[in-house]
Structure 1
Amino acid sequence: MSANLINLLIDATWQTLYMVAVSAALGTVFGLPLGVFLATSQRGELLSRPLINKVLGLVVNAARSVPFIILVVAIIPFTRMVAGTSIGTTAAIVPLTIAAVPFIARLIENAIREVDSGLIEAARAMGATPLQIIRKVLIPEALPSITLGLTLAVVSLIGYSAMVGAVGGEGLGDLGIRYGYQRFMPEVMAIVVVILIVLVQLVQTIGEWFAARVDKRAPKGRGQ
């Protein structure tokens, strides 16, 4: 393989990491509070707002129902308005983030709902406010599940980042299509696939390690 192709692979890998990291961070910034609200705003819950909960739930479900490649094409005008262009790595962050927010929100919601309701009642009995319960009880107790959920989200974003290469998003997906498919270079496609697999394995391993570290219920090994 030529030095030019090696440089292209390195650049494409960094582009993929950039897209995934920024969209995961933005998706978490917006998805975390949305997921917490969805988990605590049904009738009789901490932030009881059943009508808003229902409307937001419908919006989240609708956003998650749209196939990603269709979403990318459908929001091209919005992407162009936000990023100034509809092609390139920075532009790809827009649809990646929009896809990540509802996905992360549902993962956070499910993680919060797994927390023992007895802990909430105990905190209420001690006079804690709803926001205090969320900050000091729900989120800390759900942190291992939240971590695993965010790990799953990042893994999905890696796959999405490869798909967005089909519409000019750059990164490993774009490289695989332009060289591996259009120029009939199967070795490039194989290397792209291997890099994506390695990235997924690294993210999964790190996520599981961190989730185990923050899980207060997990038994500690000897010497810890």
Structure 2
Amino acid sequence: MFGSFMEHYFPYASQMGSDFTQATEETVLMTVSAMIIAGVIGLIIGILLLLTGSRGLSPNAPLYWVLDQIVNIGRSIPFIILLAIIMPFTRLIVGTSIGTTAVTVPIVVGTIPFFARQVQNALLEVDPGVVEAAQAMGLGNLAIVFRVYLKEGLISLVRSVNFTIINLIGLTAMAGAVGGGGLGATALQEGYQRGRTDVTFVAMILILIFVFLTQIIGNALLRLIAHGRA
């Protein structure tokens, strides 16, 4: 019954089961790999912004200004333009500018400043009194970062990661416009450009399911952390 329903209302999509499976795997691969790489680099930059700010543990106005401008500029460039701008860099890194691996490069570059600012804002929510208490105990800056900022700001950081992953899913879909693979490419190339509305619709539903699962997992982690601290 389900098969006949799909064939009637989704005639083209019903014949593309393996294509949707591959596209979903590509979307997951791009999202996870980009989040890991951009997450590590963005976390480091976010911590540096926190430490070198005017109220940070190691104020450094020139360094903060440089990092702040890089983050601001990086967040301001539309992703579709970023794809074109760093195409030579992408070819240098992976040898091509087309495909799942290739578009992961601009996705990472576009996500780093976004996540770095998220990290900075999340850690700024930590109670300054707790930081001052740690300093009074003689803890060094590195120890304060790991034992105070990252620990006390964990809930805010998890929210930032969750929000960033959802943003990443949107970037992977947009990357489909330039042959990036994934569900975005399927929706545009196999659906929209060929007039197959059902294919575009199914790809959209799969992307939404991915977003909802991300939110569910993120909320579960937040509840687990909150319960552990209760």
Same fold (TM over 0.5): yes
CA 1:215 to 1:64, structure 2 compared with 1: closer, same or farther past 3 Å? same
- 2:46 corresponds, among 35, 47, 56, to 35
Aligned match of 1:222: none
Instruction: Please state how far the C-alpha of 1:47 moved relative to its aligned partner.
Output: 2.2
Distance 1:45 1:75 in 2: 33
Task: Flag structure 2 segments of 5+ consecutive residues without an equivalent.
Answer: 1-10
Aligned to 2:66: 55
CA contact (8 A) 1:35 1:107 kept: yes
* Equivalent residue letter for 1:94: V
Q: Which amino acid aligns with 1:130?
A: N
Moved over 6 A (4+): none
Query: Partner amino acid for 2:181?
Result: E
Which secondary structure does the structure 2 equivalent of 1:187 belong to?
Answer: helix
Q: Which residue of 1 aligns with 2:4?
A: none
Structure-1-length-normalised TM-score:
0.94
- Residues 40-189 of structure 1: matches in 2 within 5 Å? 40-189=51-200
SS at the partner of 1:215? helix
Shift of 1:4: 4.8
Is there any run of 5+ residues in structure 1 with no aligned partner, and where?
Answer: 220-224
Q: Secondary structure at the match of 2:39?
A: helix
Structural RMSD (CA): 1.4
Q: Say whether the 8 Å CA contact 1:212–1:218 is kept in structure 2.
A: no
2:54 counterpart letter in structure 1: R
Question: What SS does structure 2 have at the residue aligned with 1:36?
Answer: helix
1:15-52 deviation line (CA, Å, top 9, x unaligned): 00000000010011100011011112123521221210
Q: 1:44 to 1:202 in 2, by over 3 A?
A: closer
Q: State the alpha-carbon separation in 2 of the partners of residues 69 and 148 from structure 1.
A: 26
Q: Superposed, which structure 2 residues align to 1:196-207 within 5 Å?
A: 196-207=207-218
**Cross-structure match for 1:191:** 202
In 2, Cα distance between the equivalents of 1:115 and 1:182?
49
- Select 1:6's aligned residue among 14, 17, 23: 17
How many residue pairs get matched?
219
SS class of match (1:156): helix
Q: Deviations over 1:67-115 (max 9, x none)?
A: 0011011111011111110000000110000011101100000000000
Tell me if structure 2 keeps the 8 A contact 1:143–1:211.
no
Among all aligned residue pairs of Structure 1 and Structure 2, give the percentage whose two residues are the same amino acid: 37
Match of 1:24 in 2: 35
CA distance in structure 2 between the partners assigned to 1:102 and 1:191 by the alignment? 32
The answer to whether the 8 A contact 1:143-1:215 is kept is no
Once residues 55 and 92 of structure 2 are traced to their aligned partners in structure 1, the CA distance between those partners, rounded to angstroms, is 41
